[in-house]
Amino acid sequence: MSFYGLRGDVEHRLMTEHLAALQKLFQEAKAPSFFSDNLIALNRNLSFLYDEKFMNAFSAAADKNIPEDEAKLWRLHTLAWCGRTALNVPGDFVECGVYKGLYSAMLTDYLDWNEIDRRFYLYDTFAGLPDDWSSEMERSTVSDGYEWDGTYDAVCARFAHYQNVDVVKGVVPDILAERAPKQIALLHLDLNAAKAEVAALDFLGPRLSDGAIVLMDDFGRKEQLELAEALMGWWTAHDHPILELPTGQGMVTVNAAKLQT
Ligand SMILES: C[S@@+](CC[C@H](N)C(=O)[O-])C[C@H]1O[C@@H](n2cnc3c(N)ncnc32)[C@H](O)[C@@H]1O
């Protein structure tokens, strides 16, 4: 069970006193339930649990010693769907905000990426949020619990068996001008920084294929309101609605004609 964003003592009471009882009730009734990542779903089919290929990719990518990895199961299911669907349109895949590569490792495994004639660009400073492209508030939210030492080398090693994955170290958006695909089918934004995500959209938006998918990992998170407002502003200005998912993610399917200006 992973619930966050409340005062520590409230968080603890929520999980141990209230949610634990509800979860037990559902377990005893042998009724399906999901209690994780600030998301409670009761009596849903949870069909992704029976997608063997997805569950194998998830288990291989998630670190068993990191509860936050395991908690992201539903978010990873969303990305898996987006990735598979994005194969219907031309273009490469891009992730801005990679950290240790949890999401991208799951997706490349799930899609048998070596068999796919596209590239996957993974952008990160591998050193945290740069001051010029994030607010103090955003830095304080993300820095807790993140360790950067050796991350770049570890991510390069993690994807070394793929010929078509580019691990690119640099600051978004600056690095995009140096190295970015011309046509994009999937864009995963997970920088946790409003200014940088908007700048990435400014640069990459005109390169998104018609029907491309943009998945924004933190769009619906209350702790990231600054980010949600910035993303909402950008997409509204380009006349695209955002689907806010119960996982906290936001998703858009692209009408390329509206992003060419
Ligand atoms: C929440 S983590 C990404 C998690 C990742 N998607 C995963 O699979 O676990 C956010 C990452 O964004 C990176 N980042 C934030 N702002 C950045 C920027 N302007 N340029 C490059 N990387 C940035 C940080 O270094 C951090 O690794």
Name the most confidently modeled range: 10-14, 63-67, 234-238: 234-238
pLDDT of residue 143: 65
* Residue having the nearest C-alpha atom to atom 16 of ligand 1: 129
Cα(123) to centroid(ligand 1), Å: 8
pLDDT of residue 261: 66
79 pLDDT exceeds 80? yes
Q: In whole angstroms, how far apart are CA 57 and each of 49, 81, 139, 153?
A: 12, 13, 30, 22
User: CA dihedral in degrees (93, 98, 103, 104; nearest 10)?
Assistant: 40
65 pLDDT exceeds 70? yes
pTM of the predicted structure, to 2 decimals: 0.95
130 touches ligand 1 (CB under 6 Å): yes
| CA 83 – CA 107 distance, rounded (Å) | 7
Q: Which domains does the chain have, with CATH numbers?
A: 1-44 (no CATH), 51-259 (3.40.50.150)
Name the most confidently modeled range: 14-18, 60-64, 137-141: 60-64
pLDDT tens for residues 17-59?
778 888 888 889 999 999 989 999 999 999 999 999 999 999 9
pLDDT tens for residues 122-133?
999 999 999 999
Partners of residue 42 on adjacent β-strands? 33
| Spatial contact of 71 and 2, defined as CB atoms under 8 Å apart | yes
pLDDT tens for residues 145-159?
688 889 999 999 999
191 touches ligand 1 (CB under 6 Å): yes
pLDDT of residue 18: 79
pLDDT tens for residues 93-120?
999 999 999 999 999 999 999 999 999 9
Cβ-proximal residues to 145 (8 Å cutoff; 6+ apart), any chain: 68
Cα(196) to centroid(ligand 1), Å: 10
pLDDT of residue 62: 96
Mean pLDDT computed over 5-14:
73
User: Phi and psi (nearest 5°) for 255?
Assistant: -105, 100
10 pLDDT exceeds 80? no
* Residue having the nearest C-alpha atom to atom 24 of ligand 1: 128
Cα(217) to centroid(ligand 1), Å: 11
> Residue 137 has what DSSP assignment?
H
| Spatial contact of 164 and 119, defined as CB atoms under 8 Å apart | yes
Cα(68) to centroid(ligand 1), Å: 15
| Spatial contact of 107 and 83, defined as CB atoms under 8 Å apart | yes
